[in-house]
């Protein structure tokens, strides 16, 4: 825990500068490292992570294809914290899922995010969204089947069923 805190203290200021300056070449790496740090952190989210979370839900953040795998991993790391603020943003995160599964290039990331949400969110919080999730997932399946999507969707649904 002390090592994670030390890394965060050293890395957050320059990484925030990279994100504020929108340095496209480095942002995916910054998001990947944030995800790794968050996965290694135990306990509640620090203020820096809480500040970083809301901008991740803005659709424009997901426009750069190079950012998508790292952003998806970072959102999955946030979901795994089961923080109340993160779970309160379930509708926005499901909107990101919808955006990601709409493209063959990002369908796997969308299903991985969905699986993380199924694992982290309380069943009661998800119940109201399951019909819409099913509609989105099955409509995508009906119109544009790929093996990658089939495997990723089966994994996500398996997580839901095994909860």
Phi, then psi, of 52 in degrees rounded to 5: -75, -25
How far apart CA 3 and CA 113 sit, in angstroms, is: 28
> Which DSSP string do the residues of 19-73 spell out, in sequence order?
HHTT-TTTHHHHHHHHHHHHHH--SSPPHHHHHHHHHHTSGGGG-SGGGHHHHHH
Q: pLDDT 10s digit of each residue in the chain, 163 long?
A: 788 889 999 999 999 999 999 999 999 999 999 999 999 987 788 888 999 999 999 998 999 999 999 999 999 999 999 999 899 999 999 999 999 999 999 999 999 999 999 999 998 899 999 999 999 999 999 998 899 999 999 999 999 999 8
Tokens of 85: 């603020």
Q: Which residues contact 154 (CB under 8 A, 6 or more apart)?
A: none
This prediction's pTM: 0.93
Q: Which residues contact 37 (CB under 8 A, 6 or more apart)?
A: 4, 7, 8, 11
């Amino acid at each position: 825990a002390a090592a994670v805190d030390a890394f965060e203290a050293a890395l957050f200021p320059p990484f925030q500068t990279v994100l504020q300056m929108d340095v496209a070449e480095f942002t995916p790496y910054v998001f990947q490292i944030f995800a790794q740090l968050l996965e290694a952190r135990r306990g509640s989210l620090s203020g820096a992570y809480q500040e970083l979370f809301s901008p991740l839900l803005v659709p424009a953040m997901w426009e750069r294809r190079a950012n998508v795998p790292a952003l998806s991993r970072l959102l999955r790391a946030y979901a795994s914290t089961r923080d109340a603020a993160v779970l309160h943003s379930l509708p926005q995160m499901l909107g990101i899922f919808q955006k990601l599964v709409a493209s063959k290039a990002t369908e796997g990331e969308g299903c991985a995010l969905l699986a993380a949400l199924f694992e982290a969110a309380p069943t009661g919080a998800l119940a109201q969204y399951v019909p819409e999730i099913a509609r989105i997932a099955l409509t995508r399946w009906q119109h544009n089947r790929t093996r990658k999507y089939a495997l990723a969707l089966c994994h996500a649904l398996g997580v839901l069923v095994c909860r």
